Amino acid sequence: MELGILPGAGGHMSSFSWNSICKWKNLVFDPSRKTIKQRCVLKRDRHNTNSLVSCLTTGDGDTFIPSDTHLNAAKIIYSIAPAMGHNQEAHPESHLRVPAIVKALEKMELTPKFRGAEIIQLQNFRPASVDDIASVHTTSYVSGLEKAMERASEQGIIFIEGSGPTYATASTFQESLIAAGAGISLVDSVVAASKISRDPPTGFALIRPPGHHAVPKGPMGFCVFGNVAIAARYAQRQHGLNRVFIIDFDVHHGNGTNDAFYDDPNIFFLSTHQDGSYPGTGKFNEIGHGAGEGTTLNLPLPGGSGDIAMRRVFDEVIAPSAQRFKPDIILVSAGYDAHVLDPLASMQFTTGTYYNLASNIKQIAKELCGGRCVFFLEGGYNLDSLSASVSDTFLAFLGEPSMASAFDNPSILYEEPSARVKQAIQRIKTLHSL
């Protein structure tokens, strides 16, 4: 991995304090070993005095998941890893993204403070281990990025050559481990809940950097580690959930996830994305290879596709594919950059589109795999549409009415390319015998 100074970055960044981020995440920083560990803290929910966030040990690390009592009542369980130190001024993948979502959830009263046992926030979770990351990425990439942190500390920000517009700061490596760990811990929690409830909470990892463009050999397109891919391998290895169904509705093709599982018959990767958008991959005929042939499905949609198109896509492509595959768990690369207000694409998804997707995905997870489902934040670069759409996703998980009408403006929408959408759906149905 070749590293260079990001042009225009100025070569300077305010000093990064590990003690500050560790205090925020309730971590213990060991400066001598340059490692961080989770501190186990038991917290009583002030709305439910019988419920504790407890500490369980699974596998080779400590994972912190709620008690059986709390999990049995919950409908949503979410984690937050905003990577505040991983930031380049004016970059669209901003450190303001996750805080904007958190603020919106508070405003909509969609947090434990307002909802009690219905909604759980994982306050403590372990960062992913290097072994977790290496289940998807090459050890040379992982070690190369870790070594680059000293240089990033000296120069403030570095550009990772050959990866598209992907940068790194002094905190990128550790914060990317935290992001991946947030997703892994949600898998632990959702699996634990599914053992005591037929309707376990749906997980949502509010994390960055995003992950679905990161290829096995390196970062790409704002993405550092493949968070959803790492969680898929973890679900297989740690929980014996061998058949993993991944849905990626980000406006861009999840080429990193695609590549990681292209020859794997036990992981079904399904991506809908804007035709011709970055990074130019995800063609109809990319269907997998060898033993994995048929377990990769790429559906490029014409620009201008919106709610009508995605309703058809779900009914005619996503649901039948999942029903035929019979997954043990569903993981979702939840990108919100197909929204009509997003600056990096030209689709017409609305807040209501994301509500419907979340509701429908939750339902098929309940029908097919005991409700085991975890969403992972990917793209979404208009802070208003991003935060409104994630809030509506939470409402869908709760089974409550959408608030999209308070945000969406139908007057800015134009006619969808229905004929071209129909052709694309028919082509993929023929190709995959749906």
**Radius of gyration over alpha carbons of the chain, in Å?**
20
DSSP for 278-347?
TTS---TT----GGGTTSEEEEEE-TT-BHHHHHHHIIIIIHHHHHHH--SEEEEEE--TTBTT-TT---
CA–CA separation, 357 and 266 (whole Å): 24
Helix (H, G, I), strand (E, B) or coil at 238: helix
Q: Which of 137, 212, 213, 432 is catalytic?
A: 213
From 48, 49, 221, 205, select the one nearest 122 (Cα to Cα): 205
Instruction: Give yes or no: 239 in active site.
Output: no
CA–CA separation, 163 and 172 (whole Å): 15
Residue with tokens 């409550």: 400
CA–CA separation, 347 and 234 (whole Å): 33
Local structure of residue 101 (DSSP, 8 states): H
Residue 404 · residue 351 · CB < 8 Å: yes
CA–CA separation, 90 and 165 (whole Å): 13
Active site members: 213
